[in-house]
Amino acid sequence: MKTRRQFLASSATGLVAAPTLAAEKEERPLFSFGLMADCQYADSDTRGSRFYRESPRKLAAAVEELNQHDLAFTFHLGDFIDRDFVSFDVLEPIAGKLNSKLYHALGNHDFDVEDGKKTNVPPKLGLENGYYSFQKDGFRFVVIDTTDVSTYRHPKGSEAQKAAAEELKKLQKAGVSGSKPWNGRPGEKQLEWLESKLKEATKLKEKVLVFGHHPILPEEGHVIWNADVVSKILQKNACAKLYMNGHNHAGHYLDSGGFHYLTLDGMLETKDQNAFAYANLFADRLELTGFGRQESHVLKFR
């Protein structure tokens, strides 16, 4: 794995950085796609390094840059908003200018809305279901829902919310690293679905790239509640090559036995520096070109 920090372009805002990753050899990718995470807009005052009102401007800059590239689609990996359902309405027309189809993963902040609006969040983001998959040119893209079982996904006092709260208490008592109220986990039905998709991909000799909002590894305060279970599922299936996510705005990379775990830097952080990327996909690797604070990576498939 190779990584290089992207340097800011000479623009005053620094919202778009010039990519510096050189191709290892003259070779055209099979296709390319865009990547963003944690736009996290709210009409709220700045808190620490979180400049909420700058997010629409950053999203617009990312869209403008991504539209300069031939992308098959683009992912936003959770926390499109920070809070308030009306925040979606500010971002929708900006994201709508993308030339490529936008796929969302659900994040914890996306459900920081009034209880009566929680069920409206997935359809607002164009989702019939929180987890889904699609195929393209020998690859299968799997998006998991890490908010599936959580204390914030369902209305307060509902059976699902109370069950998740009880589970969280037990996990905290057991000292599980990701047992925080801002995390969650894929449920049992979803895990069965995930394993079925991996088996299908194995039969079809597809390479699988997995995406979600919360990290799985390394173990720290941002990971899903059942990180040990999900990491074993992914790493035991040779067709699965990597997992990308958001949530931890600082970003992170880990190679675990040839399986790649990549946390994207959060767009929200800092006033002037953006964070997003696009990926060129080859038969044996993914080359990620980062902008702003997002590092570039070459991830070779196991």
pLDDT tens-digit readout, 241-272: 999 999 999 999 999 999 999 999 999 999 99
Domain limits of the chain? 33-280+289-300
Q: State the amino acid at position 256 in one-letter form.
A: S
In this prediction, residue 26 carries a pLDDT of 73
* SS3 track for 266-293: CCCECCCCCEEEEEEECCCEEEEEEEEC
Contacts for 47 with CB less than 8 Å, ≥ 6 apart: none
Q: What is the C-alpha separation between 27 and 128, in angstroms, rounded?
A: 37
In this prediction, residue 8 carries a pLDDT of 36
In this prediction, residue 15 carries a pLDDT of 65
Task: Let me know: does 215 contact 222? Beta carbons within 8 Å.
Answer: yes
Domain at 33-280+289-300, CATH from 3.60.21.10, 3.70.10.10, 2.60.40.10, 3.40.640.10 = 3.60.21.10
In this prediction, residue 17 carries a pLDDT of 54
In this prediction, residue 169 carries a pLDDT of 99
Task: Let me know: does 46 contact 110? Beta carbons within 8 Å.
Answer: no
Task: Let me know: does 29 contact 258? Beta carbons within 8 Å.
Answer: no
Global pTM value: 0.92
Question: Does residue 111 come out as left (phi exceeding 0), alpha (psi in the -120 to 50 range) or beta?
Answer: alpha
Task: Let me know: does 33 contact 69? Beta carbons within 8 Å.
Answer: no
Question: Could you state, in chain order, the average pLDDT of each consecutive group of 10 residues for the chain (302 residues)?
Answer: 40 49 71 99 97 98 99 99 99 99 99 98 98 99 99 98 99 97 99 99 99 96 98 98 98 97 98 98 99 98 98
Which element (helix H / strand E) includes 103?
Answer: strand 101-105
Q: What is the C-alpha separation between 159 and 228, in angstroms, rounded?
A: 26
